[in-house]
Structure 1
Amino acid sequence: MFLTNTNPAYKAPLDPRDAETLGVEAAAMVSRFLSHRENNAETPLVSLSGLARELGVSSIHMKDEGFRLGLGSFKALGGSYAVIRLVLEEASRHLSRPVDISELKTSEVAAIAKTMTFACATDGNHGRSVAQGAQLVGARAAIFVHAGVSDERVAAIGRYGAEMIRVAGTYDDSVKEAARVATENGWTIVSDTSWPGYERIPGLVMQGYTAIIGEVLRAMHEPPTHVFVQSGVGGIAAAAAGHLAIALGDRRPIFTVVDPSRAACIVETAKAGHPVVIPHGEPTIMAMLECYEPSLVAWRILSRVADAFMTVEDEDAIGVMKMLANPIGADPAVVAGESGGVGLAGLIKAAGDPGSKAALQLGPQSRVLLINTEGATDPKRYEEIVGETSVSILSKNAEAMA
C-alpha cells in the first residue's frame, strides 16, 4: 500500500507543543544531556553509494543506530533521557531549586531517585532504555513484556536490574497493563506511545530521538531530499519528520513513513484521516514495529509533516537484512535487526514502482536518508535469518579498512 498525505492538517504548522518538544533548543538540550553519558558517541552515518547507483538516486546515507549507547537501538536515546529528565525535575521540586544534569551523580539527587520506580511496556528496545536509565540514576524499573517478546530480549532488559513482568497478548495489551499497575502502585510510566491525557512523557521520549537528526545534519554536506523511516506507534518517524521540518523549513525533505503490512497502524490512520486501532492479525517478523494503535502525539505531528505512507512485507524486511549484511560493491556491511532496515525496504519498493516514484519525485538528484533503528538486538534470531553472526559481518568491515 502507498498513499500520499491528504489529511486537512497536511503542511500546517506544527502544534506549538510539538514545535517546542522537537525544536532546535530542545535538541541542543538532548545533546548536552548526552555529553554527560559515559559511553556517548555519535553513531556512524554510512554511505551506500553502490546501492544508490543501483536504485538510480544520487546518494543513500544510513544512520546506524546499532551502536547507540551500548543498547544497539535508537531507543537508547528516548527512554533513558526521559527517566533522567524526570528524576532531575523531581529533585528540583524536592530541593526547591533548579537541578542541572551536572548534578545527576550527587548524593542529594541519588537519594531522590532511589524513591522512584519507572514502568513501561516494550517489544524489547524501549524497555532496555528505560531500565538502563533507571540503573544509571539508581531508581527501580518495572518492565512489562507481551507474549511475543523473545526470551533473549527479556534477558537483555533484565541485565539492567529491572523487574520483568510478562503479560498475555500483544504489545497494546502490555501497554494497558503497565498503565494499570503503575497507577495502582504510584509508579511513573515512561511510555513511547501516548493516549488522551498522557502526552508529555512520550514527548520527552521523542525529544531524545532528535539527537539522531542533529548528528545527520552536521555530518551531511547537503541535507537529504528524501527520508524513509519505519514506524511502530510513530515516535521515531514523528521525531525525525518534526525536527527536520523545524530545522530545514522550506528545504525539508520529502518524508515517507514505512509500516509493516501486518501492523500498519500509522498507514491505516493516514488512510482514515484520524487515529484508528487496527485488528490483531498474524504476527510480523518486524517485532519492534508490531503495534496496532498509533501514538496520538506522533500522529498529530505526522499528519502535518509526513508526505507519504507505505507498507512493506515480511519478506522485504528479511531481504534488506541480508542485502545490508552482503552489500553491493564497496559499500560497507550494516547489521540491521528485523525492524532496523525497514526504511530501506520502503525505498526499494518505491524506487521500483513508477507511480510511487513519481509521487515522491524520486530520481537521479535524490539524496536519501535512512535510519537503521536497531542492530542485532536478538543475536540468535539475527543469525537464523541472515545465516551469519553479526560479529562476523562487522569483522568484514574491519578487514576492508585494514
Structure 2
Amino acid sequence: MFLINSNSAYKSPLDPRDAEALGPVAAAEVERFLSHRQNNAKTPLVSLGGLARKLGVSSIHMKDEGFRLGLGSFKALGGAYAVMRLVLEEASKRLSRQVDVTELRSPEVLALAKTMTVACATDGNHGRSVAQGAQTVGARAVIFVHSGVSDQRVAAIAGFGADVRRVEGTYDDSVREASRVAIERGWTIVSDTSWPGYERIPSLVMQGYTAIFREALRELQDPPTHVFVQSGVGGIAAAAAGHLALVMGDTRPIFTVVDPERAACIVESARAGHPVTVDHGEPTIMAMLECYQPSLVAWRILSRVADAFMTVDEQDAVTVMKRLAHPVGGDPAVVAGESGGVGLAGLIRAIGDRHIKAHLRLGDQSRVLVINTEGATDPLKYEAIVGEAPGSVLSRNAGAAA
C-alpha cells in the first residue's frame, strides 16, 4: 500500500507545542542530558554506497541505532530521557528551585527519586530505556509486557532492576493495563504513545529521539533529499519528520513513513484522514512495530509534515535483515533486528515500483537517509532469521578493516 499525504492539515505549520518539543533548542538540550549518561557516544552513520549504486540513487546513509547507549535501540534515547526530566521537575517543585541535570546524582535528588515509581508498556525496547532511566536516577520501574514479547527481551528489561509484569493480549492491551494500574497506584506513566489528555510525557520521549537526526545532519556532507522511517505508534517517524521540517524548512527532504502491512495504524490513519485503530490479526515479525493504535501527538505531526505513507510485508523485513548482514559492493555489514531495517525495506520497495518511485521523485540524484532502529535485541531470534549470530556478522567488518 502506498498513499500520498492528502490530509487537510498537510504542509500547515506544526502545533506550537510540537514545534517547541522538536525544535533545535530542545534538541540541543537533549544532547546536554546525554552527556550525563553512561556509555554516551554518537552512533555510526553508515554509508551504503554499493547498495545505492545497485538501486540507482546517489547515496544511502543508515544511522545505526543498534549501538545506542548499550541498549541496542533508538528507544534508549526517549524513555530514559523522559524519566530524567520528570525526576528533575519533581525535584525542582519540592525544593522550590530549578534543579539541573548536573545535580542528577546529588543526595537530595536521589532521595526524592527513591519515592517515585515510573511505569510503561513495551514491546521490549522502550521498557528497557525506561528501566535504565529509573536505575540511573534511583527510581522504581514497573514495566508491562504483552504475551508476544520474548523471554530474552523480558530478561533484558529485568536486568535493569525493573519489576516486569506480563499482560495477555497485544501491545495496546498492555498500554491500557499499565495506565490502569499506574493511575490506581499513583505511579507516573512514561509512555511512548499518547491518548486524549496524555500528551506531554510522550512528547518528551519523542524529544529524546531528536539526537539521532541532529547527529546525522552534522555528519552528512550533503543533506538528504529523501528519508524513510518506520512507524509503530508513530513516535520515531514524527520526531524525525518534525525535527527535519523545523531545522530545514523549505529544503526539508521528502519524508515517507513505513508501516508493517499487518499493523499499519499510521497508514490506515492517513487513508481515513484521522487516527484509527486497526484490527489485530496475524502477528508481524516486525515485533517492535506491532502497534494497532497510533499516538495522537505523533499523528498530529505526521499529518502535517509526512509526505507519503507505505507498507512493507513480512518477507521485505526478512530480506532486508539478510541483505544488511551480507552487503553488496563493499558496504559494511549491519546487524538490524526484525524492525530495524524496515525504513530501508520501504526504500527498496519504492525503487522497485515505478508508480511509487515517480511519486517520490526518486532518481540518480537522490540522497537517502534511513535509520536502523534496533540491532539484535533478541540475538536468538536474529540468528534464527538470518542464519548467523550477530557477532559473526559484525566480525566481517573487523576483518575488512584489517
Matches of 1:294 and 1:42, distance apart in 2: 29
Asked whether 1:120 is paired with 2:116, we answer no
In the alignment, which residue of structure 2 is the partner of 1:241? Answer: 241
Matches of 2:399 and 2:189, distance apart in 1: 45
In the alignment, which residue of structure 2 is the partner of 1:284? Answer: 284
- Once the two structures are TM-superposed, the CA of residue 367 in structure 1 deviates from its matched residue by 0.2
Q: What are the superposed Cα offsets for residues 187-206 of structure 1, whole Å, 9 maximum, x if unpaired?
A: 00000000000000000000
In the alignment, which residue of structure 2 is the partner of 1:325? Answer: 325
In the alignment, which residue of structure 1 is the partner of 2:301? Answer: 301
Matches of 1:272 and 1:55, distance apart in 2: 32
Matches of 1:98 and 1:222, distance apart in 2: 40
Matches of 1:304 and 1:253, distance apart in 2: 14
- Once the two structures are TM-superposed, the CA of residue 37 in structure 1 deviates from its matched residue by 1.1
In the alignment, which residue of structure 2 is the partner of 1:185? Answer: 185
Matches of 2:308 and 2:122, distance apart in 1: 27
The SS at the match of 2:179 is: helix
In the alignment, which residue of structure 2 is the partner of 1:62? Answer: 62
In the alignment, which residue of structure 2 is the partner of 1:130? Answer: 130
Matches of 2:345 and 2:196, distance apart in 1: 33
- Once the two structures are TM-superposed, the CA of residue 230 in structure 1 deviates from its matched residue by 0.3
Asked whether 1:175 is paired with 2:162, we answer no
Q: What are the superposed Cα offsets for residues 80-139 of structure 1, whole Å, 9 maximum, x if unpaired?
A: 000000000000001000000000010000000000000000000000000000000000
Q: What are the superposed Cα offsets for residues 325-366 of structure 1, whole Å, 9 maximum, x if unpaired?
A: 000021000000000000011000000101100000000000
The SS at the match of 1:119 is: strand
In the alignment, which residue of structure 1 is the partner of 2:225? Answer: 225
Alignment of 1:3-402 (within 5 A): 3-402=3-402
Identical pairs, percent: 78
Matches of 1:362 and 1:275, distance apart in 2: 29
Q: What are the superposed Cα offsets for residues 346-393 of structure 1, whole Å, 9 maximum, x if unpaired?
A: 000000101100000000000000000000000000000000000011
CA RMSD of aligned residues (A): 0.4
Q: What are the superposed Cα offsets for residues 118-166 of structure 1, whole Å, 9 maximum, x if unpaired?
A: 0000000000000000000000000000000001100010000000100
The SS at the match of 1:78 is: helix
The SS at the match of 1:166 is: strand
The SS at the match of 1:88 is: helix
Matches of 2:38 and 2:266, distance apart in 1: 36
Matches of 1:392 and 1:280, distance apart in 2: 36
- Once the two structures are TM-superposed, the CA of residue 399 in structure 1 deviates from its matched residue by 1.0
Structure 1: state its 5+ residue gaps: none
Matches of 1:369 and 1:61, distance apart in 2: 5
Q: What are the superposed Cα offsets for residues 51-76 of structure 1, whole Å, 9 maximum, x if unpaired?
A: 00011100000000000000000000
The SS at the match of 1:121 is: strand
Structure 2: state its 5+ residue gaps: none
In the alignment, which residue of structure 2 is the partner of 1:2? Answer: 2
Letter in 2 for 1:193: T
- Once the two structures are TM-superposed, the CA of residue 271 in structure 1 deviates from its matched residue by 0.3
- Once the two structures are TM-superposed, the CA of residue 38 in structure 1 deviates from its matched residue by 2.1
Runs of 4+ in 1 over 2 A off after TM superposition: none
Letter in 2 for 1:64: D
Letter in 2 for 1:289: L
Q: What are the superposed Cα offsets for residues 216-238 of structure 1, whole Å, 9 maximum, x if unpaired?
A: 00000111000000000000000
- Once the two structures are TM-superposed, the CA of residue 283 in structure 1 deviates from its matched residue by 0.2
Calculate the TM-score normalised by the size of structure 2.
1.00
Matches of 1:17 and 1:131, distance apart in 2: 27
